[in-house]
């Protein structure tokens, strides 16, 4: 009987493991894959963090190297691997959780391999990446070109000489579109005009100011972020790319045709490939038997604490506690905030 089982060994699960270990709890991490690196190896090769190394650390281990630089994807993978090994976190690999059930005072967890575990509490830290969100546009089924989600994009070479449309307004959409524009003719299309925030303000990275003002740490920031216009942090290379490269931006098209898309002004344009950089949705079906999800399959929770199921917790949900919750720098403070309710719950569960 474990005190806690953590489901998922990405950054969120690893941060939780570190904290539980420090608290002297008896726990394990169940990970579907074979490395403690979460979804990072699946992200596109050139991915560069939007936060500097100084603000990209998990609790207990500073991100190595020059603190002001913006680390690349492979550095994050190496960092997460060393994090798991340095703290000897007990990760059970090839252990995809299929279902969690309540049995009296505790939880029973089953993996697809047929292994069963028991625990007094559960932390679900499975991330949304395995379930890309693909919007549906009129006529989409007619389109004969290539249609894919950014989750499968790796590098620009296969798109050489093509006419590519990237749909989205976030960091990934911009980074992919700019990289593709070195080899292809690219348009980035978004529902609202793209907005940019400068990466540096008064000579310091914007994450420094978020840290100084507490924006990253205080739950109220969620309200601020939800109601602020979405904007991409620009190191200074995004906006010039629109004049320097084969890259343009437009408000999203109205519909697909067999050969391309029809824009708002009624003009049709041939397109070879559409890449949807339209985000992800958490799929927590393995918790369905607990009655812990709403009609959309999303967690019914407040600040990571289940509102339906005592002893069930979450990490890594977007806007879980602050607007940094689903980032490297945000998951540590969220884990710390979960420790009190978790330990209180464990005390009661052990004595009953």
Ligand X SMILES: Cc1cc2nc3c(=O)[nH]c(=O)nc-3n(C[C@H](O)[C@H](O)[C@H](O)COP(=O)(O)OP(=O)(O)OC[C@H]3O[C@@H](n4cnc5c(N)ncnc54)[C@H](O)[C@@H]3O)c2cc1C
User: Interface residues with ligand X (CB under 6 A)?
Assistant: 7-13, 30-33, 38-40, 43, 47, 49-51, 96-97, 125-127, 129-130, 172, 286, 316, 326-328
Least CB distance to ligand X at residue 97 (A): 4
Residue number with CB closer to ligand X (26 or 115): 115
Task: Count the neighbouring beta carbons within 10 Å of the beta carbon of residue 179.
Answer: 21
Least CB distance to ligand X at residue 59 (A): 14
Residue number with CB closer to ligand X (130 or 257): 130
Least CB distance to ligand X at residue 325 (A): 9
Cβ(330)–Cβ(217) below 8 Å: no
Query: Across the beta sheet with 273-276, what order do the strands follow?
Result: 146-149, 273-276, 163-167, 185-190, 247-251
Using DSSP's 3-state secondary structure scheme, residue 111 falls into: strand
Least CB distance to ligand X at residue 52 (A): 10
**Burial class, 236, CB count within 10 angstroms (exposed 0-12 / middle 13-18 / buried 19+):** exposed
Least CB distance to ligand X at residue 318 (A): 9
Residue number with CB closer to ligand X (260 or 330): 330
Least CB distance to ligand X at residue 49 (A): 4
**Burial class, 159, CB count within 10 angstroms (exposed 0-12 / middle 13-18 / buried 19+):** buried
Residue number with CB closer to ligand X (51 or 322): 51
191: which 2 tokens? 């529902």
Least CB distance to ligand X at residue 347 (A): 27
Residue number with CB closer to ligand X (260 or 325): 325
Cα separation, 243 vs 234, in Å, equals: 15
Residue number with CB closer to ligand X (4 or 260): 4
Angle at the Cα of 171 from the Cα atoms of 65 and 299, rounded to 5 degrees:
100
41: which 2 tokens? 């190896």
Using DSSP's 3-state secondary structure scheme, residue 219 falls into: coil
Cβ(114)–Cβ(256) below 8 Å: no
342: which 2 tokens? 């978790």
Cα separation, 291 vs 100, in Å, equals: 10
CA-nearest of 6, 1, 43 to 21 is 6
Residue number with CB closer to ligand X (46 or 308): 46
Beta bridge partners of residue 208, listed in sequence order: none
Residue number with CB closer to ligand X (12 or 169): 12
Helix H or strand E segment including 29: strand 27-30
Least CB distance to ligand X at residue 348 (A): 27
């Amino acid at each position: 009987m474990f005190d806690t089982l953590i489901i998922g060994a990405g950054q969120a699960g690893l941060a939780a493991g570190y904290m539980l270990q420090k608290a002297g709890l008896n726990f394990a991490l169940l990970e579907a894959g074979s490395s403690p690196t979460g979804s990072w190896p699946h992200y596109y090769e050139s991915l560069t963090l939007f936060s500097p190394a100084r603000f990209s650390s998990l609790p207990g281990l500073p991100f190595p190297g020059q603190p002001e630089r913006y680390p690349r994807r492979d550095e994050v993978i190496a960092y997460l691997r060393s994090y798991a090994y340095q703290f000897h976190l007990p990760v059970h690999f090839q252990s995809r959780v299929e279902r969690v059930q309540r049995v009296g005072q505790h939880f029973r967890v089953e993996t697809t391999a047929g292994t069963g575990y028991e625990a007094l509490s559960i932390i679900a830290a499975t991330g949304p990446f395995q379930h890309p969100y693909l919007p549906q546009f009129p006529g989409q089924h007619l389109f004969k070109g290539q249609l894919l989600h950014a989750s499968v994009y790796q590098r620009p070479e296969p798109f050489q000489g093509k006419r590519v449309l990237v749909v989205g307004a976030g960091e990934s959409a911009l980074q992919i579109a700019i990289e593709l524009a070195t080899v292809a003719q690219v348009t980035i299309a978004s529902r609202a005009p793209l907005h940019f925030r400068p990466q540096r303000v008064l000579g310091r990275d914007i994450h420094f100011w978020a840290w100084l003002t507490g924006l990253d740490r205080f739950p109220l920031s969620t309200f601020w972020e939800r109601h602020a216009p979405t904007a991409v942090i620009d190191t200074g290379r995004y906006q010039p790319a629109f004049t320097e490269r084969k890259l343009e931006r437009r408000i999203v098209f109205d519909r697909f045709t067999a050969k391309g898309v029809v824009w708002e002004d009624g003009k049709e344009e041939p397109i070879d490939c559409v890449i949807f950089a339209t985000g992800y949705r958490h799929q927590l079906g393995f918790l369905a038997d607990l009655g812990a999800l709403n009609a959309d399959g999303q967690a019914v929770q407040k600040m990571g604490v289940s509102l339906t199921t005592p002893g069930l917790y979450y990490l890594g949900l977007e806007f879980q506690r602050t607007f940094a919750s689903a980032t490297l720098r945000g998951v540590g403070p969220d884990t710390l905030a979960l420790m009190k309710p978790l330990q209180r719950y464990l005390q009661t569960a052990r004595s009953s």
